[in-house]
Structures are given as structure tokens and as C-alpha cells.
Amino acid sequence: MDREKILAGAQRFLASFRSDHLSKVWTKAQHLLSDPESCWPALLASVPPFTILLLDYVAVIAGISAVGSFLGLTLVGIDVPVFGRFRVSVLHALMSAFYELGMSFVAVYAGARVIQFIGEKCTLSLSFERSAVLVAYSLTPAWIGRIFLFVPVLGVLGYGGLLYAGYLLYLGIEADSEIPASRRLLIFCGTAASLLTIIYFFATIVSGMRPAPSIPGY
């Protein structure tokens, strides 16, 4: 990749966080969450290139999740058995937030490849970009829900977001005209299982990045 493409990508990434673009993306996310049945056909009718999808949508929604994670770790803290609640240092929280954002990109890529792989086994030729749209928009409530995981009273909303993400994925596959009705359940189950495995794997690594609480007197 030459220097011009790198600079163009960086400029587009930074442009994703302009106030007008943030408002546009947030409105799209709200529409998807409130009325997914009518939103999916429009999303699948205008499939962007993969990099544009990452920079224009995933970077914003997953970025909000990463910022929420950073604030939760530094201001609220996390509960640790025996030790109680402790706050993570700014450096470790920042590392965790950047890692979470990067792995969100990887999750979208891996999920799209899984859909393609299952499609090939079913003798289907599924577009990678279209598969990425299914995964990226389906994960929207999971990313938003992570913000609530650090508030004990609202923590259940975080796990609810993950469940709703599965529901959105199911509706998206149902709305995709490229996927025959006889193959939709298989593709949904395979993709959902793969994404849960990826999310669990990434969450385990993020937990390992956090420092252990110090024991007074040791």
C-alpha cells in the first residue's frame, strides 16, 4: 500500500469522528435497533467497499464502545473476587480500548469470511462485502451494550445487547436475497457460533491485559 492510500485512509478515519458524521451514524444505528425489518433491505441494497464500511461505520460505533470501556475501567473500575472493586490505570485502560477497537475490525472481517466459507460449502457464491455488512451492522447492539457492563445495575443491558445482535444477524440473513431460504438457518448458526467464539477469545485476552490488583503489605 503506497503512502497516498495510507494518508487517504487516515484522513477518512479522522473524518469519521466529525460531529455531522457521528450524528448520521448514530441515527442509522438507532433506526436499525428500533426497526430492523425495514432497515436491513436498505443496508443490503447499498453495500460499500469493506474499508469504507470499517472507517465510516464500525470505527464510530466500536469507537464509542472503546471510549466507554476506557471510562468504565478508569472511573468506575471492575469487580475482582476477594479484592473488591478497583480502577485500572489510564495506560492499561487505553491499551485495552485500542485493542478492543482493533479486534472489532478483526471480528467483522472474520465473521464475513465465515459466512463466505459456509456459503461455499453450500455451493453458494456470497459477496465478501455483503457478508461484512451483515456482520458489522448485526454487532451494533453488542458494541453499544458494552458501555453498560461497567455499571452494576445496568450490566444486564450489556449481555442483552449481545443477544439482540444475534437477533439482528438472523433478520439480516433472512433479508438477504443472495441466501436461499433453505440455507439461512445453517449460515446463521455457523456465523453466530463463530462470532461468539471470537468475542469470548478477545474478551479473555483483554482481561489478561489488565493488571492484577495489588495486595496491601506485599
pLDDT at 54: 92
Buried b / exposed e along 112-134 (16+ C-beta atoms within 10 A): bebbbbbbeeeeeebeeebbbbb
Which among 68, 71, 96 is positioned nearest to 157, based on CA atoms?
68
pTM: 0.79
pLDDT at 156: 64
155-175 helix and 181-209 helix, angle to the nearest 10 degrees: 150
pLDDT at 215 over 50: no
Helix, strand or coil for residue 24? helix
pLDDT at 212: 47
Cα–Cα dist 205/43, whole Å: 32
Helix, strand or coil for residue 80? strand
pLDDT digits (tens, 9 = 90+) for 66-85: 887 777 777 766 666 555 66
Average pLDDT taken over every residue of the chain: 80
pLDDT at 135: 94
pLDDT digits (tens, 9 = 90+) for 124-182: 888 999 999 999 999 999 888 877 766 655 656 667 888 899 999 999 999 998 888 88
pLDDT digits (tens, 9 = 90+) for 41-75: 999 998 999 999 998 899 999 888 888 777 777 77
Instruction: Give residue limits of the domains in the chain.
Output: 47-209
* Phi then psi dihedrals of residue 39, to 5 deg: -80, -35
CB atoms within 10 A of CB 105: 16
